[in-house]
Structure 1
């Protein structure tokens, strides 16, 4: 067989194997870094909801139900024709909320995915863009006030609000703050000091409705006991009468109710001055 001068058969060299720990570590690093970056940078929709939760008093979420009639709120904010078209095409949750500024006037919030912004140009009040949400206010003044409040930087909350985000994104849920509780309950709001802020999901079962979620008190809502003054009471204390009690409450778990009731100075002062209740009894 004819060969070129100086030609040699190349020697076969087996491929070098990479160290398994190095390969595994590199793979984990390539997977962990993007996941960490995505965790630090929340989804646009979650960012929009988190901004709203820090600014509004009551926020409700609803699942997409295009087979049902168009809600009145949609018709008011979008008009009959546009509301009907967007309602039939919806595939994501939508929200309504109150900001505590315009009494009785809810805002409408929609996911901006699949909605052409050009179709909203004819609306009398332009929508606000917050993350991946389109906010439809009731009037120009409410739009301006909400826009000013949303400009405040919101730090991610690791507590109740952060855990509430998945409920508001996928369930029929409600989130409230102390301002909403005060508007709904009025004078009864102090009785519910432990549920000043909360988040609940609504579930439908054959035997009825179920609510699941959590609530918490807000720091600073409970009032401190008033300091004893130097002047003695003008009315001599009266001993509580067992035959004619001032207030009779029976139950197995009354701590939350009494904590809110006794936190009000309007209740504490007559009990101390008129009925002789001491600090230990009012604690």
Structure 2
């Protein structure tokens, strides 16, 4: 059995075909050296027609995922729903190892997408619509008409030969992959969507090896159809499947190390509803926000065995200007907390090392719980002073901040334990079952296009993302395969 067989098996038996498929940032999201890019593989005329068809219709869908067929297994439930049990079983056998697709749009129901040549001449009672060699099967006549209307509104502009759009559609036409837009990400990620805007659009190649799903591709904050320029080596939609999961703190549910705060908070910091109180109440003006946005950082979410909270969030960063530059801001934060009834106290270990810690408790209505605090950590020269802050936990007294080496070009690294997050009720949204059951997730992103101007300004539109997740129940062992 190949790895792709295992992928389809998991998608069938874990109802992946009924839920939104794997994306990543969120998540953060995220996040590959074993695979040669699509450019090096000359596609056949048939495949060229398929990816042209997918490109033509991609604007009408918020998400499209491609799968290998597997006639040795039962037809997926979506096939049964759109084709009927008998017809689905017959066509599934004819499908063999060929690629098929599943698409989602804003009407909520999934579309089954097949090559025209697979369907027999007798297609009575099927809610289908054909476009350039592909047949789209919706749940009912209303959804079929909605799809037709969306397609009519899409411009028929062919993708340029070197564009990200063309690379993505080639991948979807030939192997397991996923393409998504901001609408799909918002539906999947729930309240964390605002933290994942750098990856609100994207295209990933997928590969399952044993019990580990690997991915690699490109994400950005706008439609991939708008990616006019490209990296010198072309767009990278390749999967590294030789990675080993990084070890990270056993008590951590999530760890993120980033080259810039705006990679996860950029959307929030740009909103007027956030900017206005930051400036009026805390003195965080545009100049300070800009410096904060470009500051590197580390954060982690740690499980807590006791106390009022199931987990505590910790943040560390070498904030620009050091402690002296942030005295007034932190003093104003303290004043607001006192006005709201929170009480400041000193830790029990009141010694020289911890005397500068600012800790806050909530003692209202008979409570006595720590709500957070901060302190500055001095490091040996030439390392910078770190702000160590905690929310629902004490600020850590030891540095866990990790500076990402400039030589790797890494912009963000994420490690998480999704299954533990789910068990504690800390992972909301409509994430796929496969992700929720994963023991670990590892994501890394780096700039897809680099230039002195982009580096100096901190602006970046497109990112290469790679990652992997380990399944909590292993799939069948298999050789490497797309």
TM-score, normalised via structure 2 length: 0.41
Match of 1:170 among 171, 174, 178: 174
Match of 2:281 among 244, 267, 274: 274
SS at match of 2:90: helix
Aligned residues: 212
Q: Which residue of 1 aligns with 2:189?
A: 185
Between structures 1 and 2, the one with greater helix share: 1
Q: Which residue of 1 aligns with 2:139?
A: 138
Distance in 2 separating the partners of 1:133 and 1:157 = 18
Distance in 2 separating the partners of 1:51 and 1:149 = 11
Q: Which residue of 2 aligns with 1:202?
A: 206
Q: Return closer, same or farther for 1:122/1:145 CA change in 2, 3 Å cut-off.
A: closer
1:83 and 2:88 aligned: yes
Structure of greater Rg: 1
Q: Which residue of 2 aligns with 1:21?
A: none
Q: Deviations over 1:118-160 (max 9, x none)?
A: 321133x2x1001110100111111111101212332123332
SS at match of 1:68: coil
Q: Which residue of 2 aligns with 1:258?
A: 265
Q: Which runs of 5+ in 1 are unaligned?
A: 1-37, 220-248
Q: Return closer, same or farther for 1:250/1:269 CA change in 2, 3 Å cut-off.
A: farther
Distance in 1 separating the partners of 2:134 and 2:256 = 48
Task: Between the two structures, name the one with larger relative contact order (CA 8 Å, sep ≥ 6).
Answer: 2
Deviation at 1:178, TM superposition (A): 1.2
Deviation at 1:275, TM superposition (A): 0.8
1:93 and 2:99 aligned: yes
Distance in 2 separating the partners of 1:208 and 1:98 = 25
Deviation at 1:47, TM superposition (A): 2.3
1:113 and 2:125 aligned: no
Q: Deviations over 1:185-225 (max 9, x none)?
A: 23322222221210011112246221111111218xxxxxx
Distance in 1 separating the partners of 2:138 and 2:211 = 38
* RMSD across aligned positions (CA): 2.5
Q: Which residue of 2 aligns with 1:57?
A: 62
Deviation at 1:64, TM superposition (A): 1.6
Q: Deviations over 1:68-127 (max 9, x none)?
A: 221110000000000000001104211111111x22x101100112422x321133x2x1
TM-score, normalised via structure 1 length: 0.69
Q: How does 1:34-45 map to 2 (within 5 A)?
A: 43-45=48-50
Is contact 2:69–2:100 with CA below 8 Å preserved after alignment?
yes
Match of 2:72 among 44, 67, 78: 67
Distance in 1 separating the partners of 2:257 and 2:273 = 24
Is contact 1:109–1:134 with CA below 8 Å preserved after alignment?
yes
Distance in 1 separating the partners of 2:158 and 2:280 = 47
Between structures 1 and 2, the one with greater strand share: 2
Of residues 67-76 and 254-263 in structure 1, the stretch that sits farther from structure 2 once superposed is 254-263
Is contact 1:160–1:198 with CA below 8 Å preserved after alignment?
no
Match of 2:158 among 146, 153, 156: 156
